[in-house]
Amino acid sequence: MKRYYPQSEKTRRKHLLPAWAVTPTFILGVVIVVIALIMAIFPAQIAPYDPTVVDITARTKAPSAAHIFGTDNYGRDIFSRVVWGTRIDLSIGFFGVLVPLIIGSIIGLLAAWYGGWLDSLLMRISEIMMAFPFTILVIAIITILGTGTINLYIALWLVGWMSYARLVRAEVMTLKKSEFIEAARVAGFSDARILLRHVLPNVISSSIVFAASDMVMCMLTGASMSFLGLGVQPPTPEWGAILNEGRTYITYASWMTFFPGLVLAITGVGLSLLGDSMTDILRRKGR
């Protein structure tokens, strides 16, 4: 029963991804992100060694055929640790952004739509939060909550929602006065219907574009916090935490810091390239 009509399939695909959007940078971004996703989903199949098993006989070995990224001071295979770390770092990037994206957008939507005390409260809170550097706010929250992966997420969520709330608020503010919203109101639609069917689809794209670049920032912040020993704790193989462990041995075992950081940077570039292409697509479609 599954018969596709080639023509309609073609037009549908054309709508999803126009030919001009498939640039070399876009393809590179897709390739990097897909490889990262495969590493995150199937680490057991890719990693040649157990990422946490200590092997005293293979301590601080330089990269070789057996250990392509070398080994650390406990004889653990760096490549295996980096592969297993992909799952953690991508999760921090993804979930660290997803929760603020949803909650922040809802808050921004409601604040702009209903105005009043909710709106004033949002603006005052964001004013206060803007007074702190982002990193300091995350560090302060982790200091209060204690170190660890879950508290790192909570800190990222508590700090992250505000950008989305402000972004959506600003968009809704201008949209509120437009004619088609006025028409929907005159037609007697409920607030919920207007917000979900008419306002949200028109304001969410800028949030999603921001989320794409925010994901890289979130992943880097997570890695930085773990690097400082405030986020994911060793022996869990998180890229920042691996780097922190290797820092002591930097003068004679630089591979311990070089490779985890390189993979982190490449993943970040891949996500950025993809995010940039998405921005272009949404911007051109918007015209």
Partner 1 sequence: MRRLNYILKRLLQMLPVLLVVTIMTFLMIHLIPGDPARIMAGEKARPDAVEAMRVKLGLDKPLWEQYWIYLKNLVTLDLGTSMKFSRPVAEMIGERLPVTIALTLFSTALGLLFALPLGYVAGLQKDQPTDHAIRISTLVAIAMPSFWVGLLLMILFSVTLHWLPAGGWDATSLFSEFKCLILPAFTQSLMTAAILIRDMRNSVVDIIRQDYVDFAKSKGLSAGAVRRRHIIRNSMVSTVTLLSMRMAALLGGSVIIETVFALPGIGKLTYDAISARDYTVVQSVVFLFALLVLVVNLLTDIIYSFLDPRVEF
Q: Does 88 bind partner 1 (CB under 8 A)?
A: no
The least distance separating partner 1 from the CB of residue 35, rounded to whole angstroms, comes to: 15
- 70 binds partner 1 per the rule CB under 8 A: no
Q: How many residues belong to the chain?
A: 287
Closest distance of CB 131 from partner 1, Å: 5
Q: Which of 214, 228, 247, 243 is nearest to 85 (CA)?
A: 243
Considering the rule CB under 8 A, would residue 120 count as an interface residue with partner 1?
no
Omega of the bond leading into 234 within 30 degrees of 0 (cis): no
Number of residues that bind partner 1 (CB under 8 A): 46
Least separation in angstroms between residue 167's CB and partner 1 is 15
Looking at the Cβ atoms of 13 and 124, the one nearer to partner 1 is: 124
* Inter-CA distances, 102 with 11, 98, 108, 122, Å: 31, 6, 10, 16
Which pair of tokens denotes residue 208?
């999603």
Among 97, 110, 165, 264, binds partner 1 (CB under 8 A): 264
- From the CB of 81, what's the least distance to partner 1, in Å? 16
Question: Looking at 11-19, 69-77, 123-131, 182-190, which segment touches partner 1 (CB under 8 A)?
Answer: 123-131
- Judged by CB under 8 A, the residue of 41, 62, 128, 196 near partner 1 is 128
Q: Which range, of 79-87, 108-116, 188-196, 242-250, touches partner 1 by CB under 8 A? A: 242-250
Task: State the binding string over 145-174 for partner 1 (x if CB under 8 A, else -).
Answer: -x----------------------------
Choosing from 220, 241, 278, 281, the residue that interacts with partner 1 (CB under 8 A) is 220
- Strand-pairing partners, residue 99, are none
**φ, ψ for residue 239, nearest 5 deg:** -55, -45
Q: 12-31 mask for partner 1 (x: CB under 8 A)?
A: -------------x------
271 interacts with partner 1 by CB under 8 A: yes
- Do the beta carbons of residue 278 and residue 26 sit within 8 Å? no
Which residues, numbered 184-213, are part of the site for partner 1 (CB under 8 A)? none
Question: For residues 206 and 114, what is the distance between their CA atoms, to the nearest angstrom?
Answer: 21
List of residues contacting partner 1 (CB under 8 A): 25, 124, 127-128, 130-137, 139-140, 143-144, 146, 216, 220, 223-224, 227-230, 240, 243, 247, 250-251, 254, 257-258, 260-262, 264-269, 271-273, 276
